[in-house]
Amino acid sequence: MNLVLPVPDNVAERLGEAGDVARSALEAFGIAEYQAERLTERSLCRMLGFDTRHELDSFLKEHGVLLAYTMEDVRHDLGDLKTFGGTYPVPAGTVVADTGPLRYLILIGQIDILPRLFGGVAVQATVTSELRCPGTPATVRAWIASPPP
């Protein structure tokens, strides 16, 4: 679907100085709908043309948006775990951690909360590779380089 928004010329001119007006509008709309819980991470990722959730996580972080982690996301991650050779079903008392929650818990110094709450933490191979990306904060890369057992 394409959407046309009437914008006065003088406003469009000012907005155009900051870059691609259509892209900025799409991003602002996507963020608002995500925060209102009308879009999932996966839907927002597709809408904005991101190939990975890591790209979306970075985008949301740049815009000061906290992640909404849904049961659909949990099911998707369990499917990834099974597909990419992780232990499935996950042993009782173990949490399967996704990139976003791990990244933010590491950055705020609260990563130790997961084993205290759940006993074990399972990290998928795709999550590990996303946390090792060059654009990932050094603190996060350091943690994933030698994660706890």
pTM beyond cutoff 0.75: no
Domain of residue 96 covers 71-145
- For residue 4, is it within any domain? no
- For residue 100, is it within any domain? yes
pLDDT, tens only, 40-76: 888 999 999 998 877 888 898 888 887 666 667 767 7
Regarding whether 58 and 18 lie in a shared domain, the answer is yes
Distance CA 71, CA 89 (A): 16
Regarding whether 133 and 75 lie in a shared domain, the answer is yes
Number of domains in the chain: 2
- For residue 17, is it within any domain? yes
Whether the per-residue pLDDT at 32 is higher than 70: the answer is yes
Higher pLDDT, residue 144 or 126: 144
Backbone phi, psi, residue 90, to 5° = -70, 140
pLDDT, tens only, 95-126: 777 888 888 888 888 888 888 777 778 888 88
Regarding whether 28 and 85 lie in a shared domain, the answer is no
- What pLDDT score was predicted for residue 92? 58
- What pLDDT score was predicted for residue 46? 92
Distance CA 24, CA 26 (A): 5
Regarding whether 53 and 78 lie in a shared domain, the answer is no
**Mean pLDDT for the chain overall:** 80
